[in-house]
Structure 1
Amino acid sequence: MPEQPVIRTTEGLVRGRWEQPHGPEQQQGQQHGQRQEQPAGRALAVFRGIRYAQPPVGALRFAAPAEPEPWDGVREATAFGPVVPQSGPMPTETVESAESGESAEGTAVSEDSDWLTLNVCTPDPGAAGLPVLVWIHGGGFISGTANDPLYDPTAPASAGLVVVSVNYRVGAEGFALLEGAPANRAFLDQIAALRWVRRNIARFGGDPALVTVAGQSAGAGSVAALLATDAAPGLFRRAVAHSVPGTHCTPALAAEVTAELAKLLGTAPTAAALAEVHPRRLASAVTDLGAALPERLARWGRLAHSGIATVPVVDGEVLPGSPWSALTEGVDLLVGHTRDEFRLFGVLSGRHGRFTEEEARLALGLFAPPPGGPDAYRAALPGATPSELLEAVSSDALFRVPSLRLAEANAAAGGTSYLFELALPAPALGGVFGACHGLDVPLAFGTLDSPAARHFLGDPPPPEAVRVSAELREAWVRFATTGDPGWPAFEPDGQLTRVLDARSETVRYPEQAARRIWAGHPLTAYDLS
């Protein structure tokens, strides 16, 4: 039996384990000069729970991440690291598999606060120069974990990528604006993880000069922020962003959110005071505040309607401006969205098809570009129901237009952008989900057999989903390796976009009505009304 793989990082030795590729979507990987004994069957070397920064406890609770301390001996790296306490109506630690009734592996929250860890999956730790994909998970900036089975790296690693997935601080731990603490600590965590990758990934077979940073939803928002921040240049060469959210707020709004959060906890809105609050209690307070946000619609405007209290802050330092205006140096960028982004939230809340005219009017007033946006939506969608109007403007404002604008901003900054739209509908429940938010994730990772994917795609998934999954995975691998996903680049004139469907095609950007409505209107940070 071959020995388990051991790698010497800059901080110390870590021991992972060999794992055979599994699942119906596994790919046949390419072999590169093996210098370390490896079992037959193209096994992958997997390392989990590697510390990339010191645990944020004590004096480090709300501080910028500190480099990990070195250790002696061999540290085991076979179990996922602890998960940051989660906020929201379905926090990760309570989500259970609908199929088995058992919690997903690795998602239990520990009392341990060693949250700043990452996982590495490599097809060959003895190779040199393999392309690297660094995955930043989503979760609305208040939840999520790299340990989610949706992000199983088997397929992309078997296809020749070294895959790194990162845990970072979410909710108030990562984003609350606190007196005495840096803003946007979650982005600082991600930058620290990318610095760890630059120092160490060659020891896992990867090329530190061939790093692609990737994410979906809040992870894509993180990617957009990394493109705009002055602290990240040189840490990655390419970027992948699925469903970029347009969710940022001003310091004035963020300070008021923190004050309300502290009031719920009976303490002061400072880093010193909130450091005395247990992380679980703080996460629960973020959940409670999110549930109460509609009561603050008049003053907190778009943020209140989003249902998420703690979001990235345009602080002028870590995030110098909204990514669409602050991006000054372009990269190779693969960016896209789903056709029916907001449908997921309507279905999960039980409101799909039931939104009232008053709710549609409110959403149009909050999210459509002023002054004529609400009327423009009604004119562009004649005969639309209130639910259809609300879903259209919410999809555009929250994800579709920000994704399009990131492609445009990157191209304007000298980069090369490739745009896609996922139009393949999920077949579950008679197709009610449509091509919803998050459907692209299992397709890209090839995790069609994961519990969440089966909920949307069925078991087994339909042939067209398997085909689109293969196309999107191949696009990821090609892009991370060469910078070209396999279709023409997006340019302002041609607007060529890959539409992923039962029969995929490359066409002019398909959401032209939204593009015209939003033309000339900048995406601005959420502010006090």
Structure 2
Amino acid sequence: MTAAESGPSGSRPEVRSAAGWLRGSREAGVAVFRGIPFAEPPVGTLRFAAPRAIPAWSGVRDALAYGPPPPQGGHFGMAARSQHVGDGWLTANVWSPEPDPAAGLPVMVWIQGGAYVIGMSGLPEYDGGRLAREGGVVVVTFNYRVGIEGFAQIEGAPANRGLLDQVAALEWVRDNARAFGGDPDRVTVFGQSAGGGSIAALLAMSRAAGLFRRAVVQSMPGTFFSPELAADIAAACAAELGLRPTVADLSGVAPDRLSSAADAVGAAMDQRVRRWGLPAHRAIPFSPVVDGEVLTDTPWRALAGGACRGVELLVGHTRDEQRLFTAVSGLLGEVTDKQAADALRVFAPGPDGARRYRDAFPAASPDELYDLVHSDWLFRMPSLHLAEAQTAAGARAHVYELAWPAPGMGGALGACHGLDVPLVFGNLDRGQPAALIGGAPSPEAEALSARMRAAWVSFAGRGDPGWPAYDTERRLVQRFSSRTGVVPYPEESARLIWRRHTFPALPLIDRTGEPTT
């Protein structure tokens, strides 16, 4: 026997995972298992090491509470939202409508965002109960190392440890999906923001090959670092503590001290724009590193070269990605002509990029130009180019844009970054992103959420979200709004401006402003 229900009413479901028996809970008809370790705690001698598989245990292990979040500081004025403490950071959570090994349900594995510096799977917005119950899928979420622990370039440690954690979690899913009622041959990864960027990296990584059949990339950031840039930022973080960026120097430092050092560097990145370039303008201290071993190329080059012809891809973005960040910075409605001109000069592609934006959007206000170029550089064009790279290799990709304006906060944020998260999970009244929905969800919000959840579930189950695949002739995409429908790509003017940009790994720049060699 590999699965059983315990308790007088079946409220304590039990499953036999590869490492041992687990006892969960039943919530609104869904079996839920939280805080399942998929790798050993990366502390002590395993600090900054690649994840190591968890050893087997005897007896039945309770899986009732989320594991502790990985170490992280504050970002965008937010700190880690958790009451848990401990060092067992690498844990997974499972929601299953039918924890029977014979069920063969599609599996959807969520990778959360957080700019590669914050994030944890135990947030209420990532509760997979509604998606599992109404979609008939097994939902998995998990923690991975972020910030210095996961992405700093540290001498003596493998690069991209956060990505290696994700690979370990997907290997755990492969080995355990059936026990929870899932089909290990129908695994779909889906993620937003840094989670989407992580999935793009996984698509390019040979060690992730075969671990998922389909991928949903939501608003991926286009920042991938060169080893030189990543090492220089890590050296600055270590220098905050008077140390070198080596395993020998950093492995004995308390995680919260390292997070604080990274916060200090991130807060002062605008002072190093001549050395660190574009990431310094946006205060982005960590991103996946094209190190040549864990990640051998940028996702766009890897996909165009055919790295993922066998993976079906769904990718998209929101219409007004930048608007939330503009509001957080206090600039919403306050952008000056000079600030808009500076943004165009820094972020628009090519020597004539600023002129091309002004020609393409002649009636745009400074606020609109500022938001457009930031949205395009960081999220919209990287996402679109990922789909185009996949199609260039002869593989299939479906594209969407979320254009429904968020009703929360007076409607000023439009279809901003992060709005897709509550809509995809159906958690419209819980967690921080629910503030974008604004109070009690309207019938329109519920209907849009149902359409998006149905599309994601259909893609996970059959590879078809319900609209045609993207091609470079018709460029048809699904536009989610008050009137959802298939349209030619709505941001065509921006696409033309960026069509020749390649999104290379971001370099270290010396003090004269020239990239290093």
TM class, shorter-length: over 0.9
Counting matched residue pairs gives: 495
Task: For residue 298 of structure 1, report the CA deviation from its aligned partner.
Answer: 1.6
The 5 A counterparts of 1:8-23 are 8-20=16-28
- C-alpha separation in 1, matches of 2:71 and 2:364: 41
Letter in 1 for 2:9: P
- C-alpha separation in 2, matches of 1:414 and 1:206: 29
Partner of 2:131: 156
Which secondary structure does the structure 2 equivalent of 1:5 belong to?
strand
Q: Is the 8 A contact 2:422 2:434 kept in 1?
A: no
Letter in 1 for 2:97: P
1:128 aligns with 2:106: no
1:86 corresponds, among 72, 83, 94, to 72
For the structure 1 residues 190 and 94, does the alpha-carbon distance in structure 2 shift closer, same or farther, using more than 3 Å as the test? closer
Task: For residue 297 of structure 1, report the CA deviation from its aligned partner.
Answer: 1.3
Letter in 1 for 2:299: P
- C-alpha separation in 2, matches of 1:372 and 1:285: 38
Q: Which moved more, 1:2-11 or 1:260-269?
A: 2-11
Partner of 1:353: 333
Query: Percent same amino acid among aligned pairs?
Result: 53
Q: Is the 8 A contact 2:218 2:317 kept in 1?
A: yes
Partner of 1:25: none
Partner of 1:35: none
For the structure 1 residues 253 and 453, does the alpha-carbon distance in structure 2 shift closer, same or farther, using more than 3 Å as the test? closer
Partner of 1:99: none
Partner of 2:321: 341
Letter in 1 for 2:308: E
Q: Is the 8 A contact 2:347 2:374 kept in 1?
A: yes
Letter in 1 for 2:468: P
The 5 A counterparts of 1:36-115 are 43-90=29-76, 93-95=79-81, 107-110=82-85, 112-115=86-89
Q: Give deviations 1:360-387, integer Å, cap 9, x for gaps.
A: 2332222111111111111112142322
Q: Is the 8 A contact 2:121 2:142 kept in 1?
A: yes
Q: Is the 8 A contact 2:214 2:463 kept in 1?
A: yes
1:286 corresponds, among 253, 257, 262, to 262
Q: Give deviations 1:9-34, integer Å, cap 9, x for gaps.
A: 111111111111xxxxxxxxxxxxxx
Which secondary structure does the structure 2 equivalent of 1:66 belong to?
coil
- C-alpha separation in 1, matches of 2:341 and 2:79: 36
1:401 aligns with 2:376: no
1:518 aligns with 2:504: no
Partner of 2:515: none
- C-alpha separation in 1, matches of 2:431 and 2:48: 34
Q: Give deviations 1:487-523, integer Å, cap 9, x for gaps.
A: 1111111110000000111011000111100111211
- C-alpha separation in 1, matches of 2:187 and 2:434: 31
Q: TM-score, normalised by structure 2?
A: 0.94
For the structure 1 residues 139 and 473, does the alpha-carbon distance in structure 2 shift closer, same or farther, using more than 3 Å as the test? same
Letter in 2 for 1:217: S
The 5 A counterparts of 1:7-406 are 7-20=15-28, 43-90=29-76, 93-95=79-81, 107-110=82-85, 112-126=86-100, 127-158=102-133, 159-327=135-303, 328-330=307-309, 331-406=311-386
- C-alpha separation in 2, matches of 1:376 and 1:502: 31
Partner of 2:512: none
Q: Is the 8 A contact 1:169 1:185 kept in 2?
A: yes
- C-alpha separation in 1, matches of 2:256 and 2:301: 36
Q: Which moved more, 1:79-88 or 1:504-513?
A: 79-88
Letter in 2 for 1:522: T
Q: Which moved more, 1:132-141 or 1:282-291?
A: 282-291
Task: For residue 390 of structure 1, report the CA deviation from its aligned partner.
Answer: 1.4
Aligned-residue RMSD, C-alpha: 1.3
1:495 corresponds, among 464, 468, 475, to 475
- C-alpha separation in 2, matches of 1:468 and 1:495: 23
Which secondary structure does the structure 1 equivalent of 2:207 belong to?
coil
Q: Is the 8 A contact 2:405 2:411 kept in 1?
A: yes
Task: For residue 454 of structure 1, report the CA deviation from its aligned partner.
Answer: 3.7
- C-alpha separation in 2, matches of 1:181 and 1:2: 49
1:446 aligns with 2:426: yes
Letter in 2 for 1:118: A
